Structure 1
Amino acid sequence: MAVGPEVHSAKSSADSNGEHHQRQDAPKSQSKHHASILAIGKAVPPNRFDQSTFPDFYFGVTNCSHKVELKQRMQMICDKSAIKTRYLILNEETLKQHPEFYTPGEPSMEQRHEFLEEEVPKLAAQAATNALKEWGRPKSEITHLIVVTLSGVSIPGADVRLVKLLGLRHDVQRIMLYMLGCYAGITALRIAKDLVENNPNSRVLIACSELYASTFRAPDEKYMYDVVGASIFGDGAVGVIVGTKPDPLTERSLFEIRWAGVSMAPETAHVVQGKLKIDGLNFYLDKSLPMVVGENITPFCKKVMEHAPEHLHLSYNEMFWAVHPGGPAILNKVEEQLKLDSGKLSASRSVLENYGNVSSSSVLYVLDEIRRRPAKEEWGAAVAFGPGVTLEGVLLRRNIDQTDS
Structure 2
Amino acid sequence: MATLCKPSVSVPEHVITLEETLGLARRRHTDHPQLPLALRLIENTGVRTRHLVRPIEETLRHPGFAARNKAYEEEAKARVPAVVEEALRNAGVGASDIGVIIYVSCTGFMMPSLTSWLINTMQFAPTTRQLPIAQLGCAAGGAAINRAHDFCTSYPESNALIVACEFCSLCYQPTDLGVGSLLSNGLFGDAVAATVVRGQGGTGVRLERNGSYLVPGTESWIAYDVRETGFHFLLDKRVPGTMEALAPALRSLAELHGWNASALDFYIVHAGGPRILDDLERILGIPAKAFRFSKATLTQYGNIASATVLDALRRLFEEGGAPHRASGLLAGFGPGITAEMALGRWSSADAVDSADAVDRDLSGVAALTREDLTLS
Matched AA of 1:150: C
Structure-1 residue corresponding to 2:314: 368
Contact 1:258-1:395 within 8 A present in 2 as well: yes
Structure-1 residue corresponding to 2:168: 212
Matched AA of 1:42: V
With 369-378 and 207-216 compared, the bigger mean Cα shift is at: 369-378
- TM-score (normalizing by structure 2): 0.85
Structure-2 residue corresponding to 1:52: 19
How many corresponding residue pairs? 349
Higher radius of gyration, 1 or 2: 2
Structure 1: how far apart are the matches of 2:339 and 2:59?
Answer: 35
Equivalent residue in structure 1 for 2:145, among 176, 184, 189:
189
Report the CA distance shift for 1:67/1:392 in structure 2 as closer, same or farther (over 3 A).
Answer: same
Q: Does 1:180 align with 2:180?
A: no
Structure 1 residue runs without a partner (length 5+): 1-33, 102-107, 247-251
Equivalent residue in structure 1 for 2:62, among 100, 105, 115:
100
Structure-1 residue corresponding to 2:357: none
Structure 1: how far apart are the matches of 2:74 and 2:25?
Answer: 24
Structure 2: how far apart are the matches of 1:314 and 1:73?
Answer: 39
Q: Does 1:133 align with 2:89?
A: yes
Structure 2 residue runs without a partner (length 5+): 352-376
What do the CA deviations read for 1:217-239 (whole angstroms, capped 9, x no partner)?
22654x22221111100101111
Contact 1:65-1:71 within 8 A present in 2 as well: yes
Report the CA distance shift for 1:316/1:329 in structure 2 as closer, same or farther (over 3 A).
Answer: same
Deviation at 1:351, TM superposition (A): 1.0
Q: Does 1:85 align with 2:41?
A: no
Contact 1:383-1:393 within 8 A present in 2 as well: yes
What do the CA deviations read for 1:293-343 (whole angstroms, capped 9, x no partner)?
222312332223312xx4xx6452343111110001111111111111231
Structure 2: how far apart are the matches of 1:402 and 1:347?
Answer: 24
Matched AA of 1:292: T
Structure 2: how far apart are the matches of 1:385 and 1:315?
Answer: 17
Q: Does 1:392 align with 2:331?
A: no
Deviation at 1:363, TM superposition (A): 1.1
Contact 1:264-1:388 within 8 A present in 2 as well: yes
Contact 2:18-2:47 within 8 A present in 1 as well: yes
Contact 1:112-1:213 within 8 A present in 2 as well: no
Deviation at 1:152, TM superposition (A): 1.4
Q: Does 1:239 align with 2:194?
A: yes
- TM-score (normalizing by structure 1): 0.79
Contact 1:317-1:341 within 8 A present in 2 as well: no
Report the CA distance shift for 1:125/1:276 in structure 2 as closer, same or farther (over 3 A).
Answer: farther
Deviation at 1:89, TM superposition (A): 0.8
Q: Does 1:350 align with 2:296?
A: yes
What do the CA deviations read for 1:31-79 (whole angstroms, capped 9, x no partner)?
xxx111133111111112212222335676xxx3655776655432332
Runs of 4+ that moved beyond 4 A: 57-60, 65-74, 400-403
The structure with the greater share of residues assigned to helix is: 2
Equivalent residue in structure 2 for 1:305, among 232, 248, 255:
255
Equivalent residue in structure 2 for 1:284, among 210, 223, 234:
234
Structure-1 residue corresponding to 2:359: none
Percent of paired sites with the same residue: 22
What do the CA deviations read for 1:162-198 (whole angstroms, capped 9, x no partner)?
3234332232211111121111011111111111111
